[in-house]
Amino acid sequence: MSEAREVFVRGSSSTYRSLVSGALACALALVVGWSSVVPVAYAQAGPGVQASVPSNSADDPAVGVIVDTTNPRSMHLAQDAGFSYAKMIIQWGRLEPKRGQYTFANSDQNDLDNVIRTAQAEGLRLVLRVDGAPDWVGGAPSKANADAIEAFYAAMAAHGKGTIAAYEVLNEPNLPFEWGGTPSPSGYTAFVKAAYRGVKKGDPGALVIGGGLSPAAGGGGSMDDLEFLRGMYAAGIRGSIDALAVHNYGGSFEPEQDPTNCGICFRRAETYRQIMVDQGDGATPIWATEFGWLLDPGRNMGQYDWMRVSADK
C-alpha cells in the first residue's frame, strides 16, 4: 500500500492507543479526531449523496486514508483495506488558471473530476485539501482577495456537490512558504471566511475544515501554532469552520506523552482543544488530518532523523 500513505480516523481520544499500535504494526500513519470525550458529528456523504453530519459513536471511528495519486489502484487498495474516506490534495491554480475560467467547467479531464471519479469508483467519501493560489491573484494565498476566494470555492463546491464531503482550507498557514508571506492569523481567518461563504453557497451540506497548523513552527519567519490558533480566534474564526484540523505527529514520543512537555507529539491536539474551549468553541470538533510516527527507514532523514522510532517501541 505504498500509494496509500497516511490515514485519518474519526473517533474519541479513548480509542487512540489501540489505533496507534496498529499503525506501527503496518507502517501507516493514523490520526484521531475528537471533541473532548463527547461523541462527535462528522460528514457521512457517499457518492451521489449530499454531505450531512449525523452523530457518530465515539467508540466506532470511521477511518480514512490520504492518497497522493489518482491511480485507480490506490483507491482500490484504500477501499480493500476498509477505509471509508479518502483525502486528496489539489491546487487552486490548476482549477482556475484564469479568473472565472474553471477547468472542470470545460472538460471532464481535470484535477477535480479525476479525484472525484477515483473516489466514486470505490465508494469512498472524499475530503479535499485545496492549496496555493493562481498567478492571477498574486500567486500566493496571502495575496488572494476575498471575492476571488469565495467565487472559486462556490464554483468548486457546486461542481462537487454530493461527492465531496469536506474541504480543508490550505495547509499549515503558519509557515511563510505555505502562506506566501509573513504568517498572519487575521489574514488566514479572512481567507477561511471567504472560503466558507463560497462552500456553503455551492454546497450547503459540505463541511469546511480549518487547515492544520505546523507544530514545528517557530523559526525562519514561521509562527508558533498555538499563538497562531489564538490569533485566529481573536480574528473571529468561530462560526466559519465546521471542524479544525490538527497535525499531531508523534515525534519520537509515545502517544501518552504529556503535551505540556513537547511540541511535536500526539496529544498536541489536547492543547488545541483547550484553546477552543477557552474561546467558547467547544462544540466544534477536531479532525486530525495528518499524524503518525516515522518508522526507522534505515537511512539518514536529515531534519526529521530525531523522529525515527522502531516498530516495537
Q: What is the mean pLDDT of the chain?
A: 81
Cα(49)–Cα(159) distance, integer angstroms: 13
Whether the pLDDT of residue 144 is over 50: the answer is: yes
Q: Write the secondary structure of 1-57 as one string of H (helix), E (strand) and C (coil).
A: CCCEEEEEEECCHHHHHHHHHHHHHHCCECCEECECCECCECCCCCCCCCCCCCECC
Residue 96 — pLDDT band, cuts 50, 70, 90?
very high
The alpha carbons of the chain give a radius of gyration, in whole angstroms, of 18
Rounded to two decimals, what is the model's pTM? 0.82
Out of 88-97, 121-130, 222-231, least confident range: 121-130
Torsion of CA 91, 94, 100, 104, to 10 degrees: -100
pLDDT of residue 84: 87
What DSSP string runs through 253-278?
Answer: S-TT--GGG-SSSTTHHHHHHHHHHH
- Quote the cell numbers at residue 62: 470511521
User: Per-residue pLDDT tens for 232-247?
Assistant: 999 999 999 999 999 9
- Length of the chain counted residue by residue: 313
User: Per-residue pLDDT tens for 47-58?
Assistant: 222 333 333 444
Q: What are phi and psi of 166, to 5 degrees?
A: -155, 155
Cα(205)–Cα(197) distance, integer angstroms: 12
Contact call for residues 145 and 137 (beta carbons, < 8 A): yes
What percentage of the chain reaches a pLDDT higher than 90? 56
List all residues 6 or more positions away from 121 whose beta carbon is below 8 Å from its beta carbon.
72, 75, 76
Cα(86)–Cα(68) distance, integer angstroms: 10
Cα(254)–Cα(127) distance, integer angstroms: 28
Which residue ranges form the domains of the chain, and what is each CATH number?
4-309 (3.20.20)
Hey, which residues does 243 pair with through a beta bridge?
Answer: 209
* Mean pLDDT score, 32-37: 30
Hey, CA dihedral for 273, 10, 8, 205, is it positive or negative?
negative
pLDDT of residue 243: 96
